[in-house]
Amino acid sequence: MTDSPIFRRHRQTKIVATVGPASSAPDQLRRLLLTGVDVFRLNFSHGTQENHGEVLARIRALEAEFDRPIGVIADLQGPKLRIGSFAEGAVALRSGRVIRFDLDPAPGNEDRVCLPHPEVIEAMTVGSTLLLDDGKVRIRVIEKGPDFLLGEIVAGTRLSNNKGFNVPDVMLPLSPLTPKDRRDMEFALDQGVEWIALSFVQRPEDVVEARGLIGDRAAIMLKIEKPAAIQHLDELIELADALMVARGDLGVEMPAEDVPSLQKNMIQKARDAGRPVIVATQMLESMIGSPSPTRAEVSDVATAVYDGTDAVMLSAETAAGAYPVEAVAIMDRIVARVESDALYRSIMDSQHPGLGRTTADAITHSANQAARAVSAKAIVTYTESGSTTLRAARERPPMPILAISIHDTTARRLALSYGVHTVHVTKGISSFGEMVPEAMRIAQDYGIAGIGDRLAITAGVPFGRTGSTNTLRIVYLEPEPQ
């Protein structure tokens, strides 16, 4: 046991940081953890499996050093749709001109370019939109053949080699798992990551396919970045274990003004379903090269917290930026400031999810109410699968949730969830009677509660049966008898 402040976060919303060249060294990872990172993201769009394996080993060493479960997300690249190259490296564009997209791999010019995805050409229809270079170039399809498209340039002035493209209004017949993704996923599962994040999800079948490959070796996180996914949102949430609101891609494929309301809607739906949700992309983007964020970025992070997200995420800011530790520190301060606002608490309480119909739901709801009534310092859950703790996090209580689990994987997964302080115990607890003094001891050891404080403890009897939460006890931490 150490006295490092890492043991106690004085905020409920979690911080996810992406690891990259700016943050992969052991001392940098340690600084990020101490500054406020709760979960690390490995982005398989960049780096090698060997790199990611080394980083994961360093994270596990930090976990052992600080006796704190740390979640790790393996974020798969997904299909990358890109055009071919140009003979001159780039071409000038002009609104109203027509450009041909075909399967010919020869370098392109102002009149044509290779689009090496026959399945995309087949799926497109006259009137469909093609967005290139993150939406900087907009093309409207005016003619389609068996192996080509003719598109009228609607907006954009320049297009260069191998730019990515998006198709916002067509359901593409593509699996979210490319051969590269399958190799990366198998590697990540063998290494023991807690979360697999799926890119390019469009429909429920995509999740079913991934679940068949992953089984129970990791939890599945869906990156909601395609308009098609929005149409199936309720089904996707039901199938997933967590959600990531990938606002960057959504903002390219949908009108930008639609994204804020979608963010709120997705957070609320995920919370109602008891699924952790991350708000991601461009949160403190200017800090890639600046030691301080813009006021708009601060407001953006704050809005996600006011919306009730479980976690906020840093991408290039920590992966490749010049100020990774400073970005985490500022995000930590923004989150803490919002959570100290009385308006924040009133929003969390007013957006309370509906009460579930199970005994476990009723007990968890009662624990939240009882903990508030007696000013308990924490709600304590002993959990096998994490389901009891996720129910507690769904309530968005004002006090921390102390989650105790004998399974290290469960403890690490819960590190992503709102307000949850996870503790992995190596010795099994066989009865509620054993759990109560153990919970009191752990709460004191970790600085969550002290003598004279109360805890609200939930568990299932018979003890240790997954999903059987049916007992609530309020305990008072008394001084040791002299």
Among residues 80, 316, 318, 46, the alpha carbon closest in space to that of 199 is found at: 80
The rounded Cα 128 to chain-centroid distance in angstroms is 31
Active site residue 41: yes
So what's the pLDDT on residue 27?
97
Over 60: is that where the pLDDT of 4 sits? no
Give the predicted TM-score (pTM) of the model.
0.93
Q: What is the pLDDT of residues 211-264, one digit of tens each?
A: 999 999 999 999 999 999 999 999 999 999 999 999 988 888 888 899 999 999
| CATH classification (class only), 5-78+175-341 | alpha beta
- Write down the mean pLDDT value for the chain: 93
Find the catalytic residue in 129, 281, 318, 422: 281
C-alpha–C-alpha distance, residues 378 and 362, integer Å = 18
Among 11, 14, 144, 223, the one annotated catalytic: 223
Q: What is the mean pLDDT of residues 297-307?
A: 97
pLDDT score, position 365 = 87
pLDDT band for 355, please (50, 70, 90 cuts): low
**How many whole angstroms from its chain centre is CA 188?**
17
Q: What's the pLDDT tens digit per position in 395-437?
A: 999 999 999 999 999 999 999 999 999 999 988 777 788 889 9
- Reported as a pLDDT band with limits 50, 70 and 90, residue 467 is low
Look at 98-112, 313-327, 453-467 and tell me which has the smallest mean pLDDT.
Answer: 453-467
Quick: pLDDT tens for 179-200: 999 999 999 999 999 999 999 9
The per-residue pLDDT for range 81-120, each reduced to its tens digit, is: 999 999 999 999 999 999 999 999 999 999 999 999 999 9
Asked if residue 302 lies in contact with residue 334, where contact means CB atoms within 8 angstroms, the answer is yes
The rounded distance, in Å, linking the Cα atoms of 197 and 135 is 24
Q: Are strands 311-314 and 454-460 parallel, antiparallel or unpaired?
A: unpaired
Query: What does the pLDDT read at residue 455?
Result: 96
Report the pLDDT value the prediction gives residue 427, as an integer from 0 to 100. 82
User: What pLDDT does 148 receive?
Assistant: 96
Q: What is the pLDDT of residue 460?
A: 73
State the pLDDT at residue 481. Answer: 60
**What letter represents residue 408's amino acid?**
D
pLDDT, tens digit, for every residue of 89-98? 999 999 999 9
CATH superfamily, domain at 359-476 = Pyruvate kinase, C-terminal domain (3.40.1380.20)
Residue ranges of E strands in 34-123:
39-43, 71-75, 90-92, 98-102, 112-114
CATH architecture of 90-166: Beta Barrel (2.40)
pLDDT(349) > 80: yes
CB atoms within 10 A of CB 434: 14
Q: List the chain domain ranges.
A: 5-78+175-341, 90-166, 359-476
Task: Indicate if 11 belongs to the active site.
Answer: no
Q: Which residue has the higher pLDDT, 15 or 80?
A: 15
Of 404, 411, 382, which Cα lies nearest the Cα of 472? 382
The strand order across the sheet containing 137-144 reads 112-114, 98-102, 148-155, 137-144, 129-132, 165-166
pLDDT of 463 > 70? The answer is no
Q: How far is CA 262 from the centre of its chain?
A: 16
Of the CA atoms within 13 Å of residue 220, those in its CB half-sphere come to 23
Reported as a single tens digit per residue, the pLDDT across 5-60 is 446 788 999 999 999 999 999 999 999 999 999 999 999 999 999 999 999 999 99
Q: What is the pLDDT of residue 480?
A: 67
Query: Do 90-166 and 359-476 fold alike per CATH?
Result: no
Task: Identify whether 372 is a catalytic site residue.
Answer: no
Q: Which own/partner pairs from 299-305 qualify as long-range (CB within 8 Å, at least 24 positions apart)?
A: 301/331, 301/334, 301/335, 302/334, 302/337, 302/338, 303/260, 304/263, 304/267, 304/279, 305/13, 305/334, 305/335, 305/338, 305/339, 305/344
Q: Residue 357: pLDDT above 50?
A: yes
Positive or negative: CA dihedral 71, 182, 44, 114: negative
Catalytic residue among 9, 11, 14, 41: 41
Q: In 3D, which of 57, 60, 107 has the Cα closest to residue 411? A: 60
Cis omega (within 30 of 0) on the bond before 462? yes
Q: Which residues of 27-37 are buried (b: 16+ CB within 10 A; e: fewer)?
A: ebbbbbbebbb
Residue 133: exposure state from Cβ atoms within 10 A (0-12, 13-18, ≥19): middle
pLDDT interval class at 465 (50, 70, 90): low
Which residue in the list 30, 31, 60, 82 is annotated as catalytic? Answer: 82
CA distance 385 to 467: 8
Split at pLDDT 50, 70, 90, the class of 464 is low
* Strands annotated E in 437-481: 454-460, 469-476
CA distance 431 to 245: 40
Residues 303-327 have a mean pLDDT of 97
Establish whether 144 is a catalytic residue.
no
